[in-house]
């Protein structure tokens, strides 16, 4: 019998801060990435803050309006990643089949390791106890237990914080009948809106909808997938990190705390983003031929363009230079709100012919030396002098958009 667990850390960023700082415990707190400016949003909220009706994604000013006593705490991604690795190490003690779904979520496949749901519940309690004992008693998780990933994740959402919910044959029909389609992982706002237009509001209604009708309004493939989801069926496997498919792109985007008016400031931010992209690529031992740029202006207009080289790169400066060439073809005559740069068309470093030119070899040595120093002492311990003025302003840009942490 197939048995899957979904482990979801509760209010993760907030409880991680409360675990680290006893002063914050029991208080409403908002984890915000860019200080307390008007554009700052709450990346996470503590359980105490959620009691005021607040949800992740609200602006800081909205949070303060609803809860004047709320504490604004800056994000600390290094701390969250460090704790996450500890959590995932604990999970791997129970099964080697652990799929990291995000920084605070993971699936575990217990098939063949337990005989029934009751044994899976026992392991769930052991996981909770291990996290509290080895990491901290202020960190809690909600665990869902079921026959597949879809239902296990749905179960973990049913009881928070510190919940344990089982979906099995005894309650599956009731769950399907009473679960709105918006609560299903994989059905986002756009898709749910279309389903509502078809008169489909619950999982049960989705599962009972004629397949031909779904295929007509969507595609045969998506229609078949939606019907299976409505019936609570999911055949996807739990994939440990060593079975993940390779990434197809590396990129970073950044919404500025304030609009940028000077092209020089935009170039500095672009360089910082390009350096982060290059560093992630070198860590993954890949190179890219295609660089993509997106810029959004203050009025939400913008442009998107890419350029493909006849050679491969993974040096942040070279990525930046290609991005700059793209930007310079456009007139940046409006204040800039957000920038994005990404690299695609990837190839493993070992499959790329390396340059034998002395200047290229010297640059590679400099970049390699910088990576060694930054790996040991932290991101941007060593950085280009042109980034000096903006280093502190955008140092909290996350290190990667990929959810997996290994």
Active site residues: 105
Q: Give CA separation, 43 vs 20, 29, 138, 139, 150, in Å.
A: 18, 11, 19, 17, 25
Cα 115 to Cα 118: distance, rounded to the nearest angstrom: 8
Residue 38 token pair: 């008007």
Supply the DSSP string of 220-242, one letter for each residue: HHHHHHHHHHHTT--------GG
Check whether the bond before 161 is cis (ω within 30° of 0): yes
- Give the three-class secondary structure for 161: coil
Pairing outcome for strands 105-109 and 4-9: antiparallel
- Give the three-class secondary structure for 258: strand
List the one residue out of 101, 76, 79 whose CA is nearest residue 91.
Answer: 101
φ and ψ at residue 311, rounded to 5 degrees: -150, 170
Cα 245 to Cα 342: distance, rounded to the nearest angstrom: 19
Cβ proximity of 334 and 297 under 8 Å: yes
Angle 117-134/77-91 helices, nearest 10 degrees?
Answer: 140
Cα 56 to Cα 72: distance, rounded to the nearest angstrom: 13
Look-up of token digits 């309690």: 125
φ and ψ at residue 373, rounded to 5 degrees: -65, -45
Cα 165 to Cα 6: distance, rounded to the nearest angstrom: 10
Residue 329 token pair: 């073809």
Cβ proximity of 125 and 20 under 8 Å: no
């Amino acid at each position: 019998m197939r048995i899957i667990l979904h482990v979801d850390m509760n209010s993760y960023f907030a409880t991680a801060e409360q675990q680290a700082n006893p002063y914050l415990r029991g208080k409403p707190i908002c984890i915000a990435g860019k200080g307390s400016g008007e554009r700052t949003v709450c990346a996470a909220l503590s359980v105490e803050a959620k009691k005021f009706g607040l949800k992740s994604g609200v602006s800081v000013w909205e949070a303060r309006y609803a809860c004047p006593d709320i504490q604004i705490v800056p994000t600390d991604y290094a701390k969250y990643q460090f704790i996450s690795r500890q959590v995932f190490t604990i999970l791997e003690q129970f099964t080697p089949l652990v799929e990291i779904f995000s920084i605070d979520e993971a699936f575990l496949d217990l098939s063949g390791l337990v005989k029934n749901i009751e044994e899976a519940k026992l392991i769930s309690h052991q996981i909770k106890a291990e996290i509290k004992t080895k990491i901290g008693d202020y960190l809690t998780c909600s665990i869902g237990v079921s026959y597949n990933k879809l239902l296990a994740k749905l179960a973990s959402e049913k009881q928070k914080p510190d919940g344990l919910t089982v979906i099995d044959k005894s309650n599956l029909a009731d769950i399907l009948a009473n679960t709105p389609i918006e609560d299903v992982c994989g059905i986002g706002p756009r898709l749910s809106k279309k389903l509502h237009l078809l008169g489909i509001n619950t999982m049960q209604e989705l599962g009972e909808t004629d397949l031909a009708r779904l295929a007509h309004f969507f595609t045969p493939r998506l229609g078949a997938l939606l019907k299976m989801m409505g019936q609570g069926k999911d055949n996807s496997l739990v994939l440990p990190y060593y079975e993940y498919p390779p990434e197809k792109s590396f990129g970073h985007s950044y919404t500025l705390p304030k609009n940028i008016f000077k092209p020089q400031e935009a170039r500095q931010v672009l360089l910082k983003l390009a350096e982060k992209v290059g560093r992630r690529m070198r860590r993954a031992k890949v190179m890219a031929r295609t660089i993509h740029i997106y810029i959004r202006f203050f009025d939400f207009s913008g442009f998107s363009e890419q350029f493909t080289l006849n050679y491969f790169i993974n040096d942040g400066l070279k990525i930046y230079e290609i991005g700059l060439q793209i930007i310079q073809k456009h007139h940046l005559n409006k204040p800039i709100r957000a920038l994005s740069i990404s690299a695609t068309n990837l190839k493993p470093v070992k499959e790329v012919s390396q340059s034998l030119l002395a200047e290229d070899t010297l640059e590679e040595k400099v970049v390699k030396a910088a990576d060694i120093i930054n790996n040991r002492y932290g991101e941007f311990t060593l950085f280009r002098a042109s980034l000096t003025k903006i280093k502190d302003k955008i140092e909290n840009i996350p290190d990667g958009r990929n959810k997996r942490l290994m």
